[in-house]
A and B are shown apart, each in its own frame.
Chain A
Amino acid sequence: MKRSVIDILDLTPAELEALIATALDIIDHPDQYARRCAGKKLATLFFEPSTRTRLSFEAAMYELGGSVLSVTDAASSSASKGESVSDTAKVVSCYADIIAMRHPKEGAALVAAQAASIPVINAGDGGHCHPTQTLADLLTIRREKGAFSGLTIGLCGDLKFGRTVHSLINAMARYPDNRFVLISPEELKLPSYVKKDVLAERGIPYVQTTSLEEAMPELDVLYMTRVQRERFFNEEDYLRLKDSYILDAAKLRTAKSDLCVMHPLPRVNEIAVDVDDDPRACYFKQVLNGKYMRMALILKLLEL
């Protein structure tokens, strides 16, 4: 039975554990995986540019010994000719064994998965889901903190539009004894449906604050996000809010010594470069962890 992954919640906690176990094994024994996908092809079907996500998928497939069919301008080559996402998925199913798809419209990956005869991995569908980013986040938390429970997790920046934040909350809400500190300007607060349907529904404690400094000392994880220009209707609001939170070495002085600082990247000004050499900075490790989790997910979906 063909499986696709559109949303992080498509994976059960048990499946997630298995993926993490595979990723950790890949890290320890890369040689044993170097030919696992020999003869298999991954199609990276990108209807909007996202160089780093595409590179991560392609590096993952190459490290598994597979090959890659890369469509970087899917929008200009098919959509502009009026081809539907369904048809594109059916055509690509004839050439490849698995698809990683990025599309600006919400739900596009599900449409592709319903039409394709091969597994589809959602590599981002507009502001909706980006499950492999969350897989990267989860492996990072597991490797840095050793567990998914008993953590105080600070989420900082754009909590309104930040899909990686919503997805991480959804994923971490499945584990016991976590609490969330939601740090954002008034205008970019976490939407009430996430607070109500996910946090309140499960009795998960959370606090909302506008002050990163106040929250800092209690955090085990600090997840910084970028304020994205494309989410704003007017430039004025964007300019006013974009530098609301800037993490620098001085602000880290009150933080726990084993804090894990994360960011889905790319960053603009949210994290000063003077944080990069701090051992608590985990955002480049997060990139590497993303590749390992994509490798584990490709193996799972190809049933290898």
Chain B
Amino acid sequence: MNIDAIQNGIVIDHITAGRGMRIYELLGLDALDVSVALIKNAVSHQTGGKKDIIKIDSDMSVNFDVLGFVDPGVTVNIIRDGQLVEKRRIDMPERLTNVIRCKNPRCITSTERAIDHVFKLTDRKNKVYRCVYCETKA
């Protein structure tokens, strides 16, 4: 895979340095049979600081909620036929469904089968998500 030139795929850029691996895992990229490059500690042309980048050489759809939850402010570049067709800045999602699980052992999600694990953004400033069932912090 030529990591500089993707024909059809997604580039997740401006990931805070060190968070790339977490995003890689939460997006389930390890289980995919496509070319993926995780670049750590790349130098940002904008700020001169360090950033992580993930390049996915595939037309797959990405769960933007995961990106917004782990690292609000990342940008997603969608590439078709070698051209940048869309650039999106990803913000914190209001709700997170089946991205993370509630850690409270007394929560109904620990025993109820076939239940969605849903978290709600309750404090944007401090980036606080709470389980909609038991209100425990994510």
Residues of A that sit less than 8 Å from B by CB: 84-86, 103-108, 110-111, 125-128, 197
Is A128's CB under 8 angstroms from B112's CB?
no
Residues of B that sit less than 8 Å from A by CB: 104, 106-115, 123, 131-136
| A104 / chain B contacts, CB cutoff of 8 Å | 106
Contacts A/B (CB < 8 Å), 25 sampled: A84-B114, A85-B108, A85-B112, A86-B112, A86-B114, A103-B108, A104-B106, A105-B107, A105-B110, A105-B112, A106-B107, A106-B108, A106-B135, A106-B136, A107-B107, A107-B109, A107-B131, A107-B133, A108-B133, A110-B108, A110-B132, A110-B133, A111-B115, A125-B108, A127-B106
**Secondary structure of the B contact surface, majority rule:** loop
Kindly report which residue of chain B lies nearest to residue A112, judged by CB atoms: B108
The residue in B108, B114, B134, B135 that gathers the most chain A C-beta atoms within 10 A of its C-beta is: B108
Is A111's CB under 8 angstroms from B133's CB?
yes
| B109 / chain A contacts, CB cutoff of 8 Å | 107
**Secondary structure of the A contact surface, majority rule:** mixed
Kindly report which residue of chain A lies nearest to residue B137, judged by CB atoms: A193
Question: Quick one: given A128-B134, A128-B135, are A106 and B106 in contact (CB under 8 Å)?
Answer: yes
A226 vs B113: C-alpha distance in the bound complex, in angstroms? 34
| B112 / chain A contacts, CB cutoff of 8 Å | 84-86, 105, 108, 111
Is B113's CB under 8 angstroms from A106's CB?
no
| A108 / chain B contacts, CB cutoff of 8 Å | 108, 112, 133
| B134 / chain A contacts, CB cutoff of 8 Å | 106-107, 126, 128
A105 vs B136: C-alpha distance in the bound complex, in angstroms? 13
| A105 / chain B contacts, CB cutoff of 8 Å | 106-108, 110-112
Is B106's CB under 8 angstroms from A126's CB?
yes
Kindly report which residue of chain A lies nearest to residue B116, judged by CB atoms: A114
Question: Quick one: given A107-B133, A128-B135, are A84 and B106 in contact (CB under 8 Å)?
Answer: no
Q: How far is the CB of B130 from chain A (nearest CB, A)?
A: 10
| B136 / chain A contacts, CB cutoff of 8 Å | 106
